[in-house]
Structure 1
């Protein structure tokens, strides 16, 4: 036991404090120094640049001062929070450089592209020429070389409104109309100020990995991916995906909703019901057009393959597509890809020794292709049924297709080119579905399509699978890795891309997901994500879910979907 004299009062705090790192090391430094200064002895963290830190369970910017001993988890660019900090700061850098060169025009960050970048467009003039884009990139690099400080200040809403009104930022003025907090944080780079939803790096020298690519009627700001935070790779064209985003943008214009502020206006002025109806009608029109394209093949299409990332609404989409196909006299037969899993003991394992159920080799693709070929010939086929409890494939139903029937198969590998190599390409039709939202907070603060899907999944997992929101968030990175490896590389193989995003959906999800996010305990990584998502949702006014049609894709996540018990009857089926 320590002697009582070992402890005594002091007149003032010691000059230095210590911070502890996750690897067991300690750093000592002057009390009141910033995180950036404390972490300066580190040459990055786990192979990547440090752009923030978690201090005693709370995410902080590198400019945050430390006044007491604490535990510090460096946040680098290969983490979810770190990548967001970098991309947000890079957007601010682009915005500043654009304002320097083209002060009379407005830049808009329209949407993301899968290979790591933002598609940007110019408002009020023709697209930038290749030479102008080159000058913009050079201006950004010059700002990086100068290592300019990025500062921030908290201002009253009145001060923020006055500044945005002077700059002509109508989108931000609409957004601030519904802000509940009496203040706003503005970041500043040189003479340029703006609001950005989230933290920034301390200075421009951190932003040294990027490139601008002319593309279509705009350009792409390319940033490094989390898996490769220190380098860029050649940018694919993604022509089909960009066209879908362009179509969605035209839908937003027809609805007169170009930002969250405009959506909130519709809710406040009681016109949201019309927005919902038109949004649903536009989506149904797209499904009808896909069914029409299949029907125009005059019976040539025998297999429809559907794929897309998690929480894209694939189940409801496939059933609504089935209804549309029936109107053309085509009866779909749903084949379950999961029934073709190999026995569990034959399932490949990942680098951690766990079963990799998302690997293409986890499927008996040869047997599935053989069965489809036999069904296309009108032969009777006994299908397998996978027992997830035993991990074994069992004998399933025996079926024979009619002449007017086609096989519809939906799953993670639906667009994989290794699937159905013996079936003629002219007999297949491939559909990629995803939630490709283009509604943003304002011109510079975009809404992540990934965040929208995660919110959908949190609500659905809680309602139908009994998963806690903490578990859903915990599994999210693993889910994303599976999408990156097995889905995104093949999306351009699709004959059609279906966008399941609904302009009003975050306002509809808000009353469901906010109570779930508040259940996540402090001190966990999932708490940091929940805090970020709650701050993001705070910009949205809620809407009553009773206004949402029972055949809406959104019903797949919030419940009471008409399609929950919807099945197509196959007269030639024998059990």
Structure 2
């Protein structure tokens, strides 16, 4: 075996190299001398994400990743979070860092100090300086592999019970954790090689906590621009506080509750809390006597349709009738769909909506006139008009659902006092543990994969390929207007990953390992590996989640 070698095919430059057996990705990169405008931070080995310390012992395809790639950016952000954790322990030895949830292009965090003392502006400045000091020291992130029981004992001694809960319900015999100096932490993905790779960051006071920003994916020397989203933060904090009181704020805690036989209780309590929120929104609408147009917006797979149906039921309990209107039925004919910067049809654009017809018909309905409403035929790409005339009854209101409903360009000619705006999204506050957030985007993507497979007969690959374009559209056409809402409704339920696992995992496992989407599939499967599944027997037929996995009593 002396001088044994292997072949490495570099996807980036389409060249094959011969290297010694056991070479690391970093060592191979130094030999390949790959040119990149942005720092290389991780790689895909046979389409599976790996850190630069990964060693190769057989022929592989390797694609090196910069921060421009989503997987590369995740490695960057995880590493920054570990540095911040170490800086917190350096400054506040008994302090506890909690990475709450993604918000405003960053992650919202807070630090629990001794005696419930608040973190001051001076504290945050010291924290920022300590983070920079650690970066300048160019400390290496080391990984260690050990038996699961050893890792559990390590984190128990450090008082990190959130990680203990998570790892105790994990089935792996061996686990891999990271060290930075004298601190240890666990992440469900790889890190960058050393602290010097963190080229830009910021720590910004935000509400009663702070926002951690990484670098811009197109410029490693600057942080991304962001908006303060206080309505969104308030909603997230409201639900996070409830979930903490219920003991449902981390996957580890929910796993333990499921193992203890509390699945039915979790479902009933959280569904009841969500229904109470729908009822409170209905109460507010009824109090606003001038509100005649209820505008419901939100990103893909937020559950807008089911929310609208449940809201209609709650309005009826107060003898308030409503007429549903979907903006999706007002798309322009497909031949007139606007094009994006790449010359592709931009179905997310507000210009993809026949605004003139939409405004005309809504105005007519509010004026007591009759209209013949369209139904968009997605097969032909054209509107088909109903032969039945529609009118608003006396005291009836319009429930309008569509991704553009919070855009100020919508229904500009209709008086503001007649409008009530609702933003709906799966604003998950659930984390694997206090240093590993679950993103809202992943929550919605999982919902969409299941719905597309079950009801639209789309492959997982098709959904993943479309998701990139959907996300671009959301950032351009939906997220900038979410703070325009009168109320924000959180459609996420803390138990939904446990519920959806039984359908999501088999669907994801259909994706072959040679698919370009395989790395994303492996990442999602890895996420589900930490989740204990539950059955859907106790999920009510009116649950918002049934819009995605089936069995709803509502018609769609």
TM-score range, shorter chain: over 0.9
Q: Identify the residue that residue 404 of structure 2 maps to in structure 1.
A: 413
Q: Identify the residue that residue 570 of structure 1 maps to in structure 2.
A: none
**Using the alignment, how far apart are the partners of 2:334 and 2:20 within structure 1?**
56
**Structure 1 residues 280-312: Cα deviation after superposition (integer angstroms, max 9, x where no partner):** 1111111111111111011x0111111111111
Q: Are the aligned partners of 2:361 and 2:371 in contact in 1 as well (CA < 8 Å)?
A: yes
Normalising by structure 2, we get a TM-score of 0.95
**Structure 1 residues 48-107: Cα deviation after superposition (integer angstroms, max 9, x where no partner):** 321111123332211123445543211121222112111111111111111111111211
Within 5 Å, give how 1:106-117 maps onto structure 2. 106-113=96-103, 115-117=104-106
Match of 1:357 among 335, 343, 347: 347
Match of 1:121 among 110, 118, 128: 110
The 1:43/1:210 distance shift into structure 2, 3 A limit, reads: farther
- The offset of 1:225, in angstroms, is 4.7
- The offset of 1:389, in angstroms, is 2.5
The 1:162/1:539 distance shift into structure 2, 3 A limit, reads: same
Q: Identify the residue that residue 158 of structure 2 maps to in structure 1.
A: 167
Any stretches of 5+ residues in structure 2 without a counterpart? none
The 1:491/1:28 distance shift into structure 2, 3 A limit, reads: same
Alignment partner of 1:20 is 2:10: yes
Alignment partner of 1:94 is 2:84: yes
The 1:554/1:228 distance shift into structure 2, 3 A limit, reads: farther
**Using the alignment, how far apart are the partners of 1:181 and 1:329 within structure 2?**
55
Alignment partner of 1:105 is 2:99: no
**Structure 1 residues 350-393: Cα deviation after superposition (integer angstroms, max 9, x where no partner):** 23332211111111112211211111111112223333232233
**Using the alignment, how far apart are the partners of 1:254 and 1:535 within structure 2?**
28
Q: Identify the residue that residue 8 of structure 1 maps to in structure 2.
A: none
Within 5 Å, give how 1:329-478 maps onto structure 2. 329-396=319-386, 397-478=388-469
The 1:262/1:20 distance shift into structure 2, 3 A limit, reads: closer
How many residues are aligned here?
A: 553
**Structure 1 residues 490-522: Cα deviation after superposition (integer angstroms, max 9, x where no partner):** 111111100001011111111111111111101
**Structure 1 residues 424-450: Cα deviation after superposition (integer angstroms, max 9, x where no partner):** 111111111111111111111111111
Q: Are the aligned partners of 1:304 and 1:407 in contact in 2 as well (CA < 8 Å)?
A: yes
Greater mean alpha carbon deviation, residues 26-35 or residues 472-481: 26-35
Alignment partner of 1:554 is 2:538: no
**Using the alignment, how far apart are the partners of 1:301 and 1:489 within structure 2?**
24
Q: Identify the residue that residue 568 of structure 1 maps to in structure 2.
A: none
**Using the alignment, how far apart are the partners of 2:283 and 2:9 within structure 1?**
64
**Using the alignment, how far apart are the partners of 1:235 and 1:41 within structure 2?**
39
**Structure 1 residues 195-223: Cα deviation after superposition (integer angstroms, max 9, x where no partner):** 11111101001112110011121111012
The 1:45/1:490 distance shift into structure 2, 3 A limit, reads: farther
Q: Identify the residue that residue 276 of structure 1 maps to in structure 2.
A: 267
- The offset of 1:256, in angstroms, is 2.3
Match of 1:146 among 132, 137, 147: 137
**Using the alignment, how far apart are the partners of 1:167 and 1:12 within structure 2?**
43
Q: Are the aligned partners of 1:152 and 1:187 in contact in 2 as well (CA < 8 Å)?
A: yes
**Using the alignment, how far apart are the partners of 1:464 and 1:433 within structure 2?**
22
Q: Identify the residue that residue 182 of structure 2 maps to in structure 1.
A: 191
Within 5 Å, give how 1:39-118 maps onto structure 2. 39-40=29-30, 47-67=37-57, 70-113=60-103, 115-118=104-107
The 1:140/1:27 distance shift into structure 2, 3 A limit, reads: farther
**Using the alignment, how far apart are the partners of 2:6 and 2:518 within structure 1?**
30
Normalising by structure 1, we get a TM-score of 0.92
The structure that has the greater radius of gyration is 1
Q: What secondary structure sits across from 1:305 in the alignment?
A: strand
The 1:500/1:16 distance shift into structure 2, 3 A limit, reads: closer
- The offset of 1:244, in angstroms, is 0.5
Q: What secondary structure sits across from 1:111 in the alignment?
A: strand
Q: What secondary structure sits across from 1:112 in the alignment?
A: strand
**Structure 1 residues 29-63: Cα deviation after superposition (integer angstroms, max 9, x where no partner):** 66544222332478886643211111233322111
**Using the alignment, how far apart are the partners of 2:526 and 2:61 within structure 1?**
24
**Structure 1 residues 403-436: Cα deviation after superposition (integer angstroms, max 9, x where no partner):** 2111111111111111111111111111111111
The 1:331/1:16 distance shift into structure 2, 3 A limit, reads: closer
The 1:510/1:26 distance shift into structure 2, 3 A limit, reads: same
- The offset of 1:25, in angstroms, is 4.5
Q: Identify the residue that residue 507 of structure 2 maps to in structure 1.
A: 516
Q: What secondary structure sits across from 2:383 in the alignment?
A: strand
**Structure 1 residues 553-573: Cα deviation after superposition (integer angstroms, max 9, x where no partner):** 1111111011136xxxxxxxx
Match of 1:285 among 276, 295, 307: 276
The 1:43/1:92 distance shift into structure 2, 3 A limit, reads: farther
